A and B are shown apart, each in its own frame.
Chain A
Amino acid sequence: MSKLLQIELQKLLPYRTFWVILFIYSAFLLLFAYASSHITINGQQSGSQIYQFPGIWMKLSYVASYFNLLLGILLIILITDEYAFRTFRQHVIDGLFRKDLVASKYLVILLVGLIATTILTLIGLVFGITYNQHITPGLLFSGSMHVVYYLVQAIGYMSIAVLFGFLIRKNGLAIISFLGYTKIVEPLIHWRLNDNLDQYFPMKVLSSLTPMPGQEVLDVLTGPTSALNPQQAVLPAILYIGLFYALAYLVLKVRDL
């Protein structure tokens, strides 16, 4: 395993695309965190309210969930590159097996997920500490389970992206299909289907991990929508991740490289 990770790092660290996407991800998150603290509501700056612990973790992970698409696109680029450069083929000739190819990319998913979660945590800590007066370690990390939910969500998004990458192999088409599925196809299915059913669909399960702050208030107004709460969504999310892993391997196994 560590050998596979080492090989992936040898490809990733010198690759500019990798750094550019991570930079854009951090910049967006920072920008949103910063901008929303400067919105003035009823003559009062919102910063001090938004960044109160423990609510900050839930709010930030909800914001970050929008940028998971960037991470998915990064993974698609990394996989379709290997097809374009024919390096998957060469790896298999040189000694790897198809199961190693899938495992390597899941190691990258884990790595990118941890990096994204770390960035999220750092931003949370910096803004939280700036806007909170009385801070105790207990207060700092209460509600930080939301960060873990976010990690699971990011891994889930990237797993779907990886499956599209292995399935379609061409970068443009794979990215379009990934966006099309996550943003158009599944929402359409949700719209047509009963809530009781569609709460178990992959994108719905993943988005349940980082619910919108204040959803409770909305539910009172519009009537409750049935969606899993974050704790309930973890297990189906992990099952989906396992399923996408298995499908990616299956796709590689039955096809020529």
Chain B
Amino acid sequence: MANVLEILNLSKKYPGGVQALNALTLEVAEGSIYGLLGPNGSGKTTTLGIVLDVLRADQGSFNWFGLPLSKETKRRIGAILETPNFYPYLSATQNLKIIANIKNTGHQEIEPVLRTVGLLQRRNSAYKEFSLGMKQRLALAAALLGNPQVLVLDEPTNGLDPQGIAEVREIIKQVAGQGKTIILASHLLDEVQKVCTHMAVLQAGKLKIAGRVDAILAHQDQVIIRAENLAAALALLPQLPQVSNFRQDNNSLVLTLANNFTSTDLNQAFFQQGIILSELTVRKKSLEAQFLDIITNTTTNQ
């Protein structure tokens, strides 16, 4: 499938000297729900700000739909960056009319998008009277104007109560169901795992890992082993192809299996080397533990 967005070697340093992005390269395929995951300050918003034309990159390039940025490509993208941005003294409808004019799309689309986000009843209320949840939903409505092929959402559930979060996620899934590509920045692994098909993990402006969500999160199970001769086992570990990562935890060893290997393979490998394991436990890692593993692991496997 064609790529909707391609980012090549993007770097940006803020005037304060913070290296926000460091040679970031990414591809987002058409039809995917792409999660951009990372702790606060990892470069997610900077990345989106650059590809949305509001921030300047120091180096690198990007293209949308294989084309340079133009009025036409912008029209095919609906985006929210950080906060909902509207005129506080204008009503929901008045605000959306301005955006419809910028996107060169008809005003008849305003009612349907307000209905989609559940704000039709409040369409004539001034924006400044809206709750945070309503503001977020109005921003979603604005992003949906002009029936864009790609939706870019930066922390769309930030600051919402659980009901608001559920509503926004429901809208995202509904939109994705129409075959649109969605790029979603979030610091919540849980959110990315629930909503996304693909993900990229950023930390300190660098890409840690990118790929399908199930591929990244499934093969990272941990195995905990004990043996009579722990020192011999420890010495053997670096040579085993089955193990991608290990550490000692008191008198047990915590291992991460390499892709395509199971605990059976591991047990067999030890047995062949004459080391008998006294205990072998497979532990499904919690999402948080996996996330921490990804961002502390220095190797990038794409």
Taking CB atoms and an 8 Å cut-off, the chain A residues in 13-40 that contact chain B are 14-16
| Binary interface encoding of chain B residues 51-84 relative to chain A, with 1 for a CB under 8 A from any of its CBs, else 0 | 0111110000000000000010011010101010
A126 CB contacts on chain B under 8 angstroms: none
A14 CB contacts on chain B under 8 angstroms: 89-90, 94
Residue of A whose beta carbon sits closest to that of B81: A93
Contact of B99 among A6, A92, A94 (CB under 8 A): A94
Q: Is B291 an interface residue (CB 8 A)?
A: no
A257 CB contacts on chain B under 8 angstroms: 54-55
Q: Is A87 an interface residue (CB 8 A)?
A: yes
Taking CB atoms and an 8 Å cut-off, the chain B residues in 69-127 that contact chain A are 71, 74-75, 77, 79, 81, 83, 85-90, 94, 97-99, 101-104
B39 CB contacts on chain A under 8 angstroms: none
Given A89-B81, A93-B53, A95-B75, A11 and B87 touching (CB < 8 A)?
yes
Q: Is A142 an interface residue (CB 8 A)?
A: no
Residue of A whose beta carbon sits closest to that of B50: A256
A96 to chain B, nearest CB (A): 6
Contact of B71 among A15, A86, A95 (CB under 8 A): A95
Contact of B101 with A85 in the complex, beta carbons under 8 Å = no
Contact of A90 among B77, B85, B101, B104 (CB under 8 A): B85
How many residues does chain A have at the interface if contact means C-beta atoms less than 8 Å apart? Answer: 24
Number of A-B contacts (CB under 8 A): 69
A191 to chain B, nearest CB (A): 36
Contact of A94 with B74 in the complex, beta carbons under 8 Å = yes
Residue of A whose beta carbon sits closest to that of B15: A256
C-alpha gap A11/B98 in the complex (Å): 8
C-alpha gap A92/B51 in the complex (Å): 11
Q: Is A183 an interface residue (CB 8 A)?
A: no
C-alpha gap A189/B79 in the complex (Å): 48
B49 CB contacts on chain A under 8 angstroms: 256
Residue of B whose beta carbon sits closest to that of A8: B98
Contact of A92 with B53 in the complex, beta carbons under 8 Å = yes
C-alpha gap A15/B128 in the complex (Å): 14
Looking at A15, A87, A90, A91, the one whose CB has the most chain B CB atoms below 10 A away is A90
Contact of A85 among B54, B55, B85, B142 (CB under 8 A): B85
Taking CB atoms and an 8 Å cut-off, the chain A residues in 67-112 that contact chain B are 85-87, 89-97
Q: Is A7 an interface residue (CB 8 A)?
A: yes
Contact of A86 with B85 in the complex, beta carbons under 8 Å = yes
Q: Is A3 an interface residue (CB 8 A)?
A: yes
Contact of B85 with A95 in the complex, beta carbons under 8 Å = no
- Excluding A14-B94, A89-B85, A94-B102, 14 further A-B contacts by CB distance (< 8 Å) are A3-B104, A7-B101, A14-B89, A15-B89, A86-B83, A90-B81, A90-B99, A91-B102, A92-B54, A95-B71, A95-B74, A95-B104, A97-B71, A256-B56
Residues of B within 8 A of A (CB): 49, 52-56, 71, 74-75, 77, 79, 81, 83, 85-90, 94, 97-99, 101-104, 142
Residues of A within 8 A of B (CB): 3, 6-7, 10-11, 14-16, 85-87, 89-97, 254-257
